[in-house]
Amino acid sequence: MPLATWNPADTDIPPPPDYEVWTPADTDIPPPPGYIPPRGALGHVGRALQDISVAALKGAVGLPQAITGLADLVSPVDVIVPPGTPANFLLKKAVDAAGIPQYGLSGWMQEKLGLDYAEAQNILGEFYSPETQAGFAEISEAEGVLGKAGAAIRNPATILTSAGEAIPSMLAGGAIGRAVKALPVIGKFAAGIGEGVIAAGAGAEQVRAETPTGFLTEKQASIQAASGALTGLIGVLGAKFTGRLGIDDIDVLLAGAKTKASQSVRRNVVMRVMGGAVSEGFIEELPQSFQEQVAQNISLGKPWHEGVEESAAMGTLVGGLMGGGANLIQTKPSDPSITQADHERVQALPANLEAGGTVSRKDAEAFEKMTGVKLPKG
């Protein structure tokens, strides 16, 4: 048992062989590496509330961080002169030749005013419970995608807190999607657009914060914008796939759109939850997290594969949790094809079978329309 998972409060578990003889009473001696303080009166509930609070705060910081990143992607030249015009091109060249930064100005100015989102995220992360921090450390030290995924599964708080951090940004992406939904042509891609916009902003501000100059180059801005577009495209394709399978996509639901799953008879709840977890985790978040990390590495001049395994593993697990959860809590909408007679047939079915009756063709059809489950006839 790793040292970080045991402390003197665990009186029913013997200490590991390499545990150093130390107790909280030894105030003049520092605790051994990996020591986790006793849980105190609140125990696990207190630590869980602590993690929930920190995740909420980190998510609250992440939202303006992403919005700032969107502003970082806009050059003042594009505001003054319409993009794509010869005048815009020439003015940008002149600004570049003068050595004046064009991208990342919003984040740079806010940082000078004391609004350092990246530093705030780092500080808040230190307030996670010792168990959760130890879990994240175990994930970082694990080797390979499967190793890191296994470490995360052994430390489920890391998955739950990561999902909690993502909720505000997901809601913001859904709000953008709702605004775009009414527009012609692009409205049908509303969910993907909302998701991609937020991803581009979050990536841009993260790259800017790690760039020594505090600004973004045109190349960095272009890479992050392209990465956001690719995230949105993957989201659109994933939503189409899940809709065909009778499964709801969480990003589509947040954007206020209806998938084919929510317009017609959907699969039973177990299949929807499993399908939603696989779809959102493996089909969407896995490639999205992979390419976003690669884009960030290229933007910062790092090896393209640095941190990719952890991003892929955590993205898949967090996406699976969110996708499965969305299908678990999503209630079945009213289906105009379900009639009052269908309701009466399904309600009368148990009593009919107990009385020795059989399942008629109409009984089976009504039951399938309402639950997505096929019953044998006769």
* pLDDT tens digit sequence for 160-176: 999 999 999 999 998 99
- Asked if the structure places residue 271 within a domain, the reply is yes
Assess if residue 61 is contained within a domain. yes
Q: Which domain holds residue 359?
A: 340-371
Q: What's the pLDDT at 160?
A: 94
State how far the Cα of 65 lies from the Cα of 68, in Å rounded to an integer. 5
Note whether 59 and 27 are same-domain residues: no
Domain co-membership, 220 together with 137: yes
Largest CA distance in the chain: 89
Q: Are residues 161 and 17 in the same domain?
A: no
Q: Is residue 377 part of a domain?
A: no
Residue 214 backbone zone (phi > 0: left; psi -120 to 50: alpha; other: beta): left
Distance CA 136, CA 75 (A): 37
Pair 366, 223 in one domain: no
Same domain, residue pair 72 and 177: yes
Q: Is the pLDDT of residue 2 over 80?
A: no
Residue at 334 is within a domain: no
- d(C-alpha 180, C-alpha 82), whole Å: 22
Is residue 292 in some structural domain? yes
Residue 163 · residue 318 · CB < 8 Å = yes
pLDDT over 90 (residue 102): yes
Question: Helix, strand, coil: what percent of the chain each, to 5?
Answer: 70, 0, 30
Question: In terms of domains, do 241 and 350 share one?
Answer: no
Band (pLDDT 50/70/90 cuts) for residue 186 is confident
Total tally of structural domains belonging to the chain: 3
Looking at residue 170, its amino acid is: M
Same domain, 31 and 152: no
Q: Which value, to the nearest 10 degrees, does the dihedral of the CA atoms of residues 270, 276, 281, 283 take?
A: 120
31 and 52 assigned to the same domain? no
Comparing 127-136, 279-288, 323-332, 353-362, which segment has the lowest mean pLDDT?
Answer: 323-332
Residues 112 and 256 in one domain: yes
SS3 216: strand
376 within a domain of the structure (yes/no) = no
In this prediction, residue 1 carries a pLDDT of 37
Distance (Å, rounded) from C-alpha 143 to C-alpha 349? Answer: 54
8-state DSSP, 128:
S
Say whether pTM exceeds 0.95.
no
Q: Is residue 378 part of a domain?
A: no
19 and 133, same domain (yes or no): no
57-71 pLDDT, tens digit per residue, is: 999 999 999 999 999
165 plus 254 within the same structural domain: yes
304 pLDDT band, cuts 50/70/90, is very high
Same domain, 7 and 82: no
SS3 103: strand
Over residues 260-289, mean pLDDT: 72
Average pLDDT value for the chain: 82
Answer whether residue 129 is part of any domain: yes
Closest CA to 120 of 166, 59, 61, 72: 61
